[in-house]
Structure 1
């Protein structure tokens, strides 16, 4: 489980990092909302732990902006704001869970684990990005109603990219999806991505598979920011 911790209290952030890493989580830390948005542009997270009262950009605005960008990463608000109105506001902007400080670390982990198991948010039997559709039951893929032929590796890559769209997925993450810890040379992954791009983009006017240089790849009908 890869977790983004957005918390301006460095001591608390360090404690969260230490605990979650003991649970075999991979963690990144942002000390304010602007840093958090920058990190989500360049990495894929399974869940975000988000404080509300922060400098530069508060947690409610961060959540609102992520949802406006159609980013569906589960978000757990971790905050001292404890009134019912506070919780209602948190859920209203797109939060998935709400935990009040002080809290038990074990409860936090259990909630994060539960949020991750709910993904993807799209329909269980179908994924869609723009006019590209994947039927998870039959493994059939169409774009603009036209059937596409993909080998097993390309299907795995496409499913992973669609589940995280429009977020950026790193090369390492894609490699892990195909081969686990026994990844071959990077040229093999490059070849699979070439065949995937040829199948889903070459016959069509709008490009969906975008390279984010030095970071990874994203599937979206909106090109990445330059």
Structure 2
């Protein structure tokens, strides 16, 4: 059975290891971002709704345990963290789990096992995601792939619902254009005009239901959901 595409943040300062992991994940048609420093990892993980964060403990600027703690405290949702490290002592693993790590993989590792662990963590995370999401007057019924605004059904296309769900899951953070395009089209997205067209249609449906300017453009980044009176 083919794997469902996942969005992964690879936090690794060793360029060869980072390239191997990113290339492998790209080969699975997954979306992989790379951060070589702890500061960049925290910034990305608190802006993008990743399915899993692969976190090396030995980073040049911030200790990996502190990065894990910051991600768990500040990310828009409880993203699973898989620690990658050469530290294999029980005490090291215990500290990692105490700081919020969800799994631990010791270097060197098999990339196939890495992918399996990512899938398991992503599935585990989805078990805790409610099938109904409520953001102010907006209701998303995930199982039925329907949305309502003040109980008024929105006539959304499948792509429109995917985009709205991605934006609402990240709320109040913005979602980059590349992340939105990967959510809908995977590793083979069309040109950016296609995304603009779908965002335009989604906005029109929200406006017809009384939601003015609910999806705002963040220049040079992407889009963000804004709720009334917030």
Bucket of the pairwise TM-score, normalised by the shorter protein:
0.7 to 0.9
Write out aligned runs for 1:184-203 (5 A).
185-195=194-204, 198=207, 199=209, 201-202=211-212
Measured against aligned partners, the alpha-carbon deviations of 1:34-79 in whole angstroms (never above 9, x if no partner) come to 1212333554533221011212222222222222223333221111
Give 1:128 deviation, angstroms. Answer: 3.6
Q: What residue number does 2:151 align with? A: 147
Q: Is 1:4–1:49's contact at 8 Å kept on the other side of the alignment?
A: yes
Structure 2 vs 1, CA of residues 44 and 132 (structure 1 numbering), >3 Å: closer, same or farther?
A: same
Q: What residue number does 1:68 align with? A: 73
Structure 2 vs 1, CA of residues 56 and 46 (structure 1 numbering), >3 Å: closer, same or farther?
A: same
What secondary structure does 2:217 align onto? strand
Work out the number of aligned pairs and report it: 215
Give 1:160 deviation, angstroms. Answer: 2.5
Q: Structure 2: which 5+ runs fail to align?
A: 1-5
Q: What residue number does 2:141 align with? A: 135
Q: Is 1:120–1:163's contact at 8 Å kept on the other side of the alignment?
A: no
Give 1:196 deviation, angstroms. Answer: 5.4
Write out aligned runs for 1:32-47 (5 A).
32-40=37-45, 43-47=48-52
Which of 9, 14, 39 is the equivalent residue of 1:9? Answer: 14
Q: Is 1:42–1:168's contact at 8 Å kept on the other side of the alignment?
A: yes
What secondary structure does 1:152 align onto? coil
Give 1:175 deviation, angstroms. Answer: 4.5
State how far apart, in whole Å, the 2-side matches of 1:24 and 1:73 are: 20
Give 1:177 deviation, angstroms. Answer: 4.9
Q: What residue number does 1:89 align with? A: 95
Q: Is 2:49–2:169's contact at 8 Å kept on the other side of the alignment?
A: no
Structure 2 vs 1, CA of residues 218 and 95 (structure 1 numbering), >3 Å: closer, same or farther?
A: farther
With 36-45 and 173-182 compared, the bigger mean Cα shift is at 173-182
Q: Structure 1: which 5+ runs fail to align?
A: 222-226
| TM-score (normalizing by structure 1) | 0.75
Measured against aligned partners, the alpha-carbon deviations of 1:77-136 in whole angstroms (never above 9, x if no partner) come to 111222333323323333221111222222112111222334435434222446644233
